[in-house]
Amino acid sequence: MASYRIATLVVLSSAIAVQSSSDGCSSSHINKKQTSCLQAFTAALAGGDVCGSWSTFECCMTDPFSQCHSGTTESVAFKVNMQKSIFSKINPNLKGCTAKCAGGGSTPVAPPAKVPSSGKSGDAEGCTSSHVTKKLTSCLQAFTAAIASGDVCGSWSTFECCMTDDFSQCDAATKQSVADKVNMQKSTFSTINPNLKGCTAKCVGSGSTPVTPPAKVEQTFDAIINLDDPTSFAVKLFVDAVKAATGVAELPTAIVKAFEIIVQYTVPHAATVAQIKKAVADGNGVEESQVAVSPVARRRLGSSTSTSSSAAKDMDVTITIDGSTDPAAAGVKAKAVKASAGAATAAVLKTALGGDVIVKTQPKATAKVETKVKAEASKAVEMKTAIESNAVGKAVGGTVTVPQSPNVTPSHSSHAASSFSAACALVMILVQATM
C-alpha cells in the first residue's frame, strides 16, 4: 500500500494547475480539479480502502462538471479513465471498482472511443484530445530515449517540438491543451532535475526561444596510456585527438605527470627492498627515489608455490620519470629505461643480490596524463569514453584508459542524469496507460 501511495504521488505531481477561466467548464478548471481530486484520493488511500478511495476520486471529478457541455464531460471522463488505467496497473484490485456519483451512474468509467490517428496533423480529425494524448505518449518515449545521452535541454527540445509542431495548425483550444500538457510535464520533470527549468526550444510550430545550452565545466581525467615507444607520445597529438574524439569546441589541455616503467623480477628470498631499489636505480641511471619496490602476494592454500625461507620471491618494480617539465625529454629517458630494465637490470640485480634473478614480466611503459576538457557536466561519461577511444590511442601510438570518474563538481552529476532518466522511464510507464 505504501508503494501504491508513492506511485499515486508521482502521478499527482504531474497534475499541475493552470490559470482558470470564468465559465467553470474549461480545460484549466478540469486540470485544477484533477489536482485536488488526486489529493483527496491519496488521502483516502491511507485508510486502505481501494474502491472507496476510487469512488472519492471519480465523484470528485465528475460531479462538478455534470452540467457542462458534452465536450467538457467527455474530457472529464477521458481523464478519469486515464487515471483508472494508470492506477489499475499499480493495483489490479482497482479495475473492478465503480462509483455512484451525483453526476453520473454507478457503472465503471467507460473508455473513451479511440480515434484513428492516421489523419494529418492540423486537420479536424487530428486535433482531438485523444490525438493529443496519444502524441504525448510517443513524444515522452522520444524524450526518455534522448535523455539517456545526458543532454537534458536537448532532450527537452525533442519533447516540446514533438508535441507542438504536430498541432500548430489546430484550433486555439487544442493548442492550449497541448501547451498545458507541455507545461505540466516540464513542471514534473523539473522537480526531478532542476536543470530542466531553464531549457527552452525553438520549434517549427511555435515561437519559443532557442534551447539554452547548459553551462560547460572543466572536467579533469587522469589518463593512463600504455606505450610501446614512449617517444611516440606528443602532447599536441594527444590534445588534438581528444578534441576530435570528444567534439568539444575548446582545445583540451594535457600535462604529462610522469612516465612509468613497470617490471616484475623473481629474486632470491633474502633480498631486501633497499637492495633491490639501489640495484635497479644503478642499472637504469635514475635516483633511488624514482624506484618503487613491492612484493607480489604469494598464493596460499592449494598453491604449489613453495613458502620456505629459501624460496625465490616475485617483486614488482616501478620506475617513475617526471614528465611535467619536459615531456619530450622524459619520453626519451623512459624509452631508454624500458630497454635497460629487462635483462640488463636483471644482471645488475644478480650481482648485487648474490643469486639468480629472472625477469618475470617484461618492462612496460605508461604515460600518466592529466587531461582537461570543457563540456557539459552531464556528458562526463561520454567524454571519458571518447578519451579512451581507439582513435586517440592510435594518434599517440598506444592504448588509453581512464580508470576513475572525472574530477568535476557540477550541480548535478552523471548519476543524477541517470536517476533522471530512470524517473522519466517511470513516468513513461504511467503515461502509456492512456494508449
**C-alpha distances in angstroms, 233 versus 78, 228, 258, 328, 399?**
65, 10, 12, 8, 11
CB 417 within 8 A of CB 144: no
User: Cα separation of 158 and 267, whole Å?
Assistant: 63
3-state secondary structure 161-205: HHHHHCCCCCCHHHHHHHHHHHHHHHHHHHHHCHHHHHCCCCCCC
How many other β-carbons are positioned within 10 Å of the β-carbon of residue 122? 14
- 240-293, pLDDT tens digit by residue? 999 999 999 999 999 999 999 999 999 999 999 999 999 999 999 999 999 999
Taking the C-alpha atoms of residue 339 and residue 337, their distance in angstroms, rounded to an integer, is 5
Assigned C-alpha cell, 96 = 473492478
Domain residue spans of the chain: 2-113, 124-212+420-433, 217-295+312-401
- In tens, the pLDDT along 92-131 reads 677 788 888 876 644 444 443 443 333 334 445 688 888 8
Closest CA to 163 of 190, 189, 133, 193: 133
Residue count of the chain = 435
pLDDT tens string 163-213: 888 888 888 888 888 888 888 777 767 666 777 777 887 777 654 544 455
Mean pLDDT of the chain: 78
417 pLDDT higher than 60? no
pLDDT average, residue stretch 159-166: 84
pLDDT the model gives residue 125: 60
Q: How many angstroms separate the CA atoms of 320 and 288, rounded?
A: 10
According to the model, what pLDDT value does residue 390 have? 95
Residue 13: predicted pLDDT: 45
Q: Please write the tens of the pLDDT for every residue from 62-101.
A: 888 888 888 888 888 888 887 777 666 556 677 788 888 8
Written as nine digits, the cell of 269 is: 628470498
Q: What is the pLDDT of residue 131?
A: 84
- If you average pLDDT over residues 10-31, what whole number do you get? 56
Residue that the C-alpha cell 648474490 belongs to: 354
| 409 or 274: which leads in pLDDT | 274
